[in-house]
Amino acid sequence: MGSGKSSIGRVLARLWNVGFHDTDDAVVAATGKSIPELFSTHGEAHFRDLERRAVLEALREQTGVVALGGGATTDEDTQFAMNAYRERGGTVVFLDVSFPYAVERIAKDGSRPMIAGDMRRRWVQLMEQRRPVLEAVSCLRVLTDACGPDDAAAEIVRRLRLAGR
């Protein structure tokens, strides 16, 4: 949350001349409701079910760059699909961010139901839960703290080239 997945994903897609697919956007398009609205009217479990379906479909059908919501990787089916994607030669990048930089980015956006209330405490709790999974399913971790989307995308491209990908 606040790592820049959508912005960086769009830059990477443009650099590679491929499509960009954001699973959060896919859920919103499929339901006609914003993510905060889905959380408030149907609850997190319902949203996570919609998100899981969007992620599994994207990993099966989309080409190019796919951006997943921060909580998507907490689902076991999603973890399995991401590992299978990597085994088929796909690249999974963990865009990491520390709290001071994340809060600067997400404070501007009031649509983050997972951190409502005590933002710092909730963000730290979520990252403690998500970090081990994010590290396990990714093949590359890029810290996005002090860089904009263009610089982060350039770093991803550089490191993938060094890794022979």
CA distances, 19 to each of 9, 64, 66, 91 (Å): 10, 5, 8, 15
Phi/psi of residue 46, each to 5°? Answer: -65, -45
Quick one: pLDDT at residue 117?
59
The radius of gyration of the chain's CA atoms, rounded to the nearest angstrom, is 15
Quick one: pLDDT at residue 118?
65
**Per-residue confidence band for 95, with pLDDT thresholds at 50, 70 and 90:** very high
Q: Taking the CA of residue 152 as centre, how many other CA atoms within 13 Å lie in the half-sphere pointing to its CB?
A: 26
Per DSSP, the residues of 37-92 read HHHHHH-HHHHHHHHHHHHHHHHHH--SEEE--TTGGGSHHHHHHHHHHHHTT---
Q: Which residues pair with 94 in a beta bridge?
A: 141
CA dist., res. 138 & res. 160, Å (int) = 13
Structure tokens at 60: 């099966």
17-31, 37-51, 95-109 — most confident range: 17-31
Reported as a single tens digit per residue, the pLDDT across 117-136 is: 566 777 788 888 889 999 99
The topology (CATH level 3) of 5-158 is: Rossmann fold (3.40.50)
Write down the pTM of the prediction.
0.85
**Per-residue confidence band for 9, with pLDDT thresholds at 50, 70 and 90:** very high
Residue with tokens 């959060």: 24
CA dist., res. 5 & res. 87, Å (int) = 22
CA dist., res. 160 & res. 61, Å (int) = 23
Report which of 128, 117, 120 is spatially closest to residue 100, judged by C-alpha positions: 120
Q: Which residues pair with 142 in a beta bridge?
A: 95
Q: Average the pLDDT over 75-98 and give the result.
A: 92
A 10 A CB-CB count for 17 gives 7
